[in-house]
A and B are shown apart, each in its own frame.
Chain A
Amino acid sequence: MNSIQLRIWRGDDSSGQYHDYKTEVDDGMVVLDAVHKVQAEQAPDLAVRWNCKAGKCGSCSAEVNGMPRLMCMTRLNTLPTDAPITIEPIRAFPRVRDLVTDVSWNFRKKLTIKPFTPRKPDFPDGEFKMQQEDIERVQEHRKCIECFLCQNVCHVLRDHHKHDEFIGPRLLVYSAALELHPADTADRLKSLKDEHGAGYCNITKCCTVVCPEHIKITDNAIIPLKERIVDEYYDPLKVVLRVLGVRR
């Protein structure tokens, strides 16, 4: 047991401030354990969103000492103990209370993306014939646990608040998984270009850095989508053909 100091932001969307708590911690504890301890012993109404406590559900996103992290996967012994540990809510979304933010925008925005639209199954029982090599990239993108840390650090959302024009890295990963699915038939490129703001991303790769699932968001999802869009809409020959009405 040793004693640590937590500096937790408490308040709502209109106002708030940091509160200091001192608590005893055990070997191997993570930040979320310490927050729970404070909640159980000192501040029962301290609001924090969490579920699985194993890095699988993506509920407990926060900024720990300024770094966007899952609190359940951040061990206390990886943080300096000579200063208080600062814990704040993520910043790209409205604050509800204390560490909880209103992430419902992500759910609403997902609805604007064309869902999976399968071709006819290859086997009469309904299965597709797909080789493991051909789905590995899709599976990488489907590892996403929707913690929204990537959305949180994307400057287009965090600093420029382009929530109306840009869907952010999470939903670009979602789109990429659909676009790369061998059995999908829908075309999302036009909407990605026009409504979903794929062009806003200027490849700073902040999202990739914070992804707890280590998805190569920029390299494997966003850049391939951008390339497809460029190829489809900005290839001079294709532009001419489209003007002539030969292509849609």
Chain B
Amino acid sequence: MTDYQLHEHDVLVIGAGGAGLRAAIEASAMGVKVACVCKSLLGKAHTVMAEGGMAAALANVDDRDNWMVHFTDTMRGGQYLNNWRMAELHAKEAPARVRELEQWGAVFDRTKQGRILQRNFGGHRYPRLAHVGDRTGLEMIRTLQDHGIHRGIDFFMECTTIELLTDGGRVAGAVGYDRERGQFHAWLARAVVIATGGVGKAFKITSNSWEYTGDGQSLAYRVGADLMDMEFVQFHPTGMVWPPSVRGILVTEGVRGEGGRLLNNAGKRFMFDDIPDLYKNQVAKDVEEGWRYVIGDKNANRPPELLTRDHVARCINREVKEGRGSPHGGVFLDIAWIKGRQDANGKAIDSHYIERKLPSMYHQFKQLADIDITAVAMEVGPTTHYIMGGIKVDGDSQMSTTPGLFAAGEAAAGLHGANRLGGNSLSDLIVFGKRAGEYAAKFARDKGAVTLDQNQVQSAIRKALAPLERGASGENPYQVMYDLQATMQDLVGIVRVESEMARAIEEIAKLRKRAAGVGSGGDRTYNPGWHTCVDLENLLTVAESIARCAIERKESRGAQFREDYPAKDAEWGKYNLVTRRNADGSMKVEKAALTPMRDDLKKLVEEYK
């Protein structure tokens, strides 16, 4: 028996990024007792990295915008695999959620009329992203944090959740440890909201930090919840490529939103060469029209750099592969060219304008790469950024297929389908964070209490302690993690082919065996070696799910590009792929037919084609 601390709550929220904080705030507002457990300190979750903005049809900048346009943009971006109910709710509720942030102290950039300013972004028909320079995520997380700490929520910072507890068929809380002392905790709860974010650490080149090891998806999977759409991993087109140590760090789409152009090593603006059919009517015919769009001309179409992320990433990949890349294996992203042009108010643009519009990009390049983006082009290339797939949830309530287990934000699947539009993530967090919190609180209120199963707690603790018992004589966990990252990057990356992915599955099986023998010296006090050992199982689970689903989907759609099946297949457009755990612990992937879209929404999709 290992000692642990027991905490009892009605609702347990795991994760304190935008979705987790919003869920905790909502559940607390419903009058139930809420705990929020987070892997880092408050305010450090990956939401803080979001730069461009949050999409909401406020229509402050272009009065033609409304929820219907936002809905159809989201569905088109997701290649119609989205959970349409979520896309509908998201488009309808995002404006109220954004304005609520303003009520809670967020200070967005303003229009001349003193309202919330909105900017252009890939795949959005009108300027739609509420933003604060290029640090919108910081504004969101700080606003939710500073509001949330006064709402009676019990926060547990720097705690990692290692297993969910169950009681009969329902979820009953979680077990975890705190990093600072390595003490174990059990949080008994009537409902649990998973808001743990993504899986970026399964890949070598990623914009994600150490935290994003697929914890929530794996925890849910292990208690039998369905995962969905796991093959759809978004490679953001523009990550830094040089210096090597910063490879993968995000360069906001806001650079392109402000007019940034992509060039190959011959100085050619290559994005004009390849426009997908779905967007033929929405792209500028030349450079001048593209620029007019950037400065707000309502009659102009967007420049091709503002096509969806999957497409832009593939175009960059092609340029590099065919020998037209930049010196360090990317392409050029040039914002300096807008200098001397006239801005929306007819004023000539200077370096200062760029610095003011993109302050953190300016500093990031200046400090990390010695490059002045107001004078020279950046080098950029695709980086693993986001997973559209995740825990399968009900569109209205955000409950998973396991009673009492809810999910929101990146950890949940559905809203984004095969590809997410930039800006739809931050709005996703607040719309569905709120819903998850609300329905979890209702569930907790309506259903009876849960009981604690000591055996479950102790077996989770035993599993977590095994690597420490093996000590330094066990295999180095960092090496196993690096090998997994290389496998996924090389074999299940932007361009996929069956034979390579089959090899990845074999590699993952071998890595699983190695992971069973990893060990760490030191004790339980803030020991990153031990933490990495514990995270490995989750990484391997999501990696296997991604690879299996990617093999199963024999077509190219959205973020999934199959070299052996380069075309979109209408038949595959009728299914999502669901990952489930077999009774013997092996992984099963099966097709699940999409729910037919409601007629009124179908009509909208036709209307806005």
Q: Flag if B44 contacts A55 (CB, 8 Å).
A: no
Q: Flag if A75 contacts B44 (CB, 8 Å).
A: no
Known: A33-B245, A121-B103. A40 touches B138 (CB 8 A): no
A103 at the interface (CB under 8 A from B): yes
Instruction: Name the CB-closest residue of A to B39.
Output: A51
Q: Bound complex: CA of A116 vs CA of B157, how far in Å?
A: 23
Enumerate A134-158 residues with CB–CB distance to B below 8 Å.
135, 138-139, 142-143, 145-146
Q: Bound complex: CA of A110 vs CA of B147, how far in Å?
A: 11
User: What are 18 residue pairs bridging A and B, where the CB atoms are less than 8 Å apart in the complex?
Assistant: A26-B244, A29-B244, A29-B245, A44-B472, A51-B211, A55-B360, A57-B40, A57-B48, A73-B367, A96-B180, A110-B149, A115-B150, A129-B115, A130-B107, A130-B110, A131-B114, A132-B109, A184-B105
Known: A56-B49, A59-B41, A142-B142. A102 touches B114 (CB 8 A): no
Q: Bound complex: CA of A30 vs CA of B247, how far in Å?
A: 12
Residue interface mask A33-66, B partner, CB < 8 A = 1: 1000001100011111111111111110000000
A246 at the interface (CB under 8 A from B): no
B357 at the interface (CB under 8 A from A): no
Contacts of B529 on A, CB cut-off 8 Å? 39, 44-45
A111 at the interface (CB under 8 A from B): yes
* Chain B interface residues (CB < 8 Å from chain A): 40-46, 48-49, 95-96, 99-100, 102-105, 107, 109-110, 113-116, 132-133, 135, 137-139, 142, 146-147, 149-150, 157, 180, 209-211, 242-246, 249-250, 360, 363-364, 367-369, 472, 476-479, 482, 520-523, 525-530, 532
Q: Flag if A139 contacts B114 (CB, 8 Å).
A: no
A28 at the interface (CB under 8 A from B): yes
Q: Flag if B48 contacts A116 (CB, 8 Å).
A: no
Contacts of A28 on B, CB cut-off 8 Å? 242-246, 368-369
* Chain A interface residues (CB < 8 Å from chain B): 12, 26-30, 33, 39-40, 44-59, 73, 75, 96-98, 100, 102-104, 107, 110-111, 115-116, 118, 121-123, 125-132, 135, 138-139, 142-143, 145-146, 174, 178, 181, 184
Q: Flag if A50 contacts B95 (CB, 8 Å).
A: no
Known: A51-B211, A132-B110. A26 touches B528 (CB 8 A): no
Contacts of B369 on A, CB cut-off 8 Å? 28
Contacts of B150 on A, CB cut-off 8 Å? 111, 115
Q: Bound complex: CA of A135 vs CA of B108, how far in Å?
A: 9
Q: Flag if B44 contacts A59 (CB, 8 Å).
A: yes
Instruction: Name the CB-closest residue of A to B211.
Output: A51
Known: A73-B368, A100-B526, A127-B99. A51 touches B110 (CB 8 A): no
Contacts of B133 on A, CB cut-off 8 Å? 139
Q: Bound complex: CA of A53 vs CA of B245, how far in Å?
A: 10
Q: Bound complex: CA of A127 vs CA of B520, how far in Å?
A: 53
Q: Nearest chain B CB to A132's CB is how many angstroms away?
A: 5
Q: Which of A53, A55, A146 contacts B43 (CB 8 A)?
A: A146
Q: Nearest chain B CB to A48's CB is how many angstroms away?
A: 7
Q: Bound complex: CA of A51 vs CA of B107, how far in Å?
A: 25
Contacts of B45 on A, CB cut-off 8 Å? 51
